[in-house]
């Protein structure tokens, strides 16, 4: 059976900064709790580029930022200020409302540097959509990692391969980073019924083998939706492979408008009004803010 693939669409986040957006898609809103999947780069940021993301709000979700190259400066209304670097996991729970910005670190001002990474949104369980906002940073050295026979893996979020990530989540969530040397293979976790999974290839063209032993090629920069409950082996061909696996227990359909996620439309309307009146949080030292979109929430 052929793989079920989602192709990206290109989204301009402003200032010429574009991402490949895989989720949400017209025929698939989420994979497990993951609602958004953005891949940016690899790109070379020039001194004149205006890629800073000014203060903006979120509700009802958690954001996950993971870099392969470069650096970003995260600042949010919980008081967190964190330099984000390759290999670290940065998880911000918006809950009832948080404001944050993402900017070029001061030490990179006036310099050209590479930037490459993923930014994901994770839905929160309906009963916990309005929890107190919080921020977690796990340094690259503290992310559990292992490997065997040319395959290496880092468990960024959740539990896999006998390793447990220190990131605290509100629902069962899976996020694993794999590097495979040519010819190496690894058995993918999360084949239990009820766990949704998807595979995203950053580079290389690996193969997937199921119980029928048939090999199915996975093209790069597309999101491969994996069958629930199927035991799958990922194998590299003649070239090295870099792949991430995301998934978890699905939390049901969500309403999404701008930077807001909710189970009930009234929550989004109230959040929009709160942001319009500057009542969702503040960032010390910041005077800029991204305004609400001109096309307002219609409740549908």
For 39-72, what is each residue's pLDDT tens digit?
999 999 999 999 999 999 999 999 999 999 999 9
98 vs 17: which has the higher pLDDT: 98
pLDDT of residue 210: 87
Per-residue pLDDT reduced to its tens digit, 144-203: 999 999 999 999 999 999 999 999 999 999 999 999 999 999 999 987 778 999 999 999
16 near 229, Cβ under 8 Å?
A: no
CATH class of 4-248: mainly beta
Predicted local confidence at residue 128, as pLDDT: 97
**pLDDT given for residue 164 in this prediction:** 98
pLDDT for 254: 97
* Structure token digits, residue 232: 């799958």
Nearest to 180 by CA among 236, 244, 219: 236
Strand partners, 38: 21, 119
| pLDDT attached to residue 300 | 58
Quick one: CA torsion of 272, 273, 275, 281, rounded to 10 degrees?
-110
Model confidence at 3, in pLDDT bands (50, 70, 90)? confident
pLDDT digits (tens, 9 = 90+) for 247-289: 999 999 999 999 999 999 899 999 999 999 999 999 999 999 9
* Alpha carbon of residue 46 to chain centroid: 24
């Amino acid at each position: 059976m052929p793989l079920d693939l989602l192709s990206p669409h290109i989204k301009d986040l402003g200032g010429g900064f574009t991402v490949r957006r895989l989720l949400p898609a017209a025929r698939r809103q989420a994979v497990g709790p993951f609602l958004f999947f953005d891949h940016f780069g690899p790109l070379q940021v020039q001194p004149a580029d205006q890629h800073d993301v000014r203060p903006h709000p979120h509700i009802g979700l958690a954001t996950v930022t993971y870099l392969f190259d470069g650096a970003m400066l995260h600042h949010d209304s919980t008081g967190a200020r964190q330099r984000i670097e390759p290999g670290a996991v940065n998880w911000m729970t918006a809950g009832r409302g948080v404001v944050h910005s993402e900017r070029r670190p001061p030490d990179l001002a006036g310099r050209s540097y590479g930037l490459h990474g993923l930014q994901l949104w994770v839905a929160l369980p309906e009963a916990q959509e309005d929890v107190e906002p919080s921020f977690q940073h796990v340094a690259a050295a503290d992310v559990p990692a292992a490997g065997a026979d040319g395959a290496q893996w880092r468990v960024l979020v959740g539990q896999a391969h006998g390793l447990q990530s220190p990131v605290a989540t509100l629902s069962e969530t899976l996020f694993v980073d794999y590097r495979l040397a040519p010819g190496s293979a690894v058995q993918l976790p999360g084949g239990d019924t009820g766990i949704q999974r998807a595979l995203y290839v950053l580079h290389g063209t690996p193969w997937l083998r199921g119980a029928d032993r048939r090999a199915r090629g996975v093209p790069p920069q597309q999101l491969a939706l994996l069958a629930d409950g199927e035991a799958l082996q990922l194998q590299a061909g003649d070239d090295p492979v870099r792949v991430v696996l995301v998934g978890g227990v699905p939390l049901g359909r969500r309403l999404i408008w701008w930077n807001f996620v909710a189970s009930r439309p009234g929550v989004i309307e109230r959040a929009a009004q709160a942001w319009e009146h500057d009542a969702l949080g503040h960032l010390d030292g910041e005077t800029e803010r991204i305004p609400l979109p001109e096309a307002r929430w219609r409740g549908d």
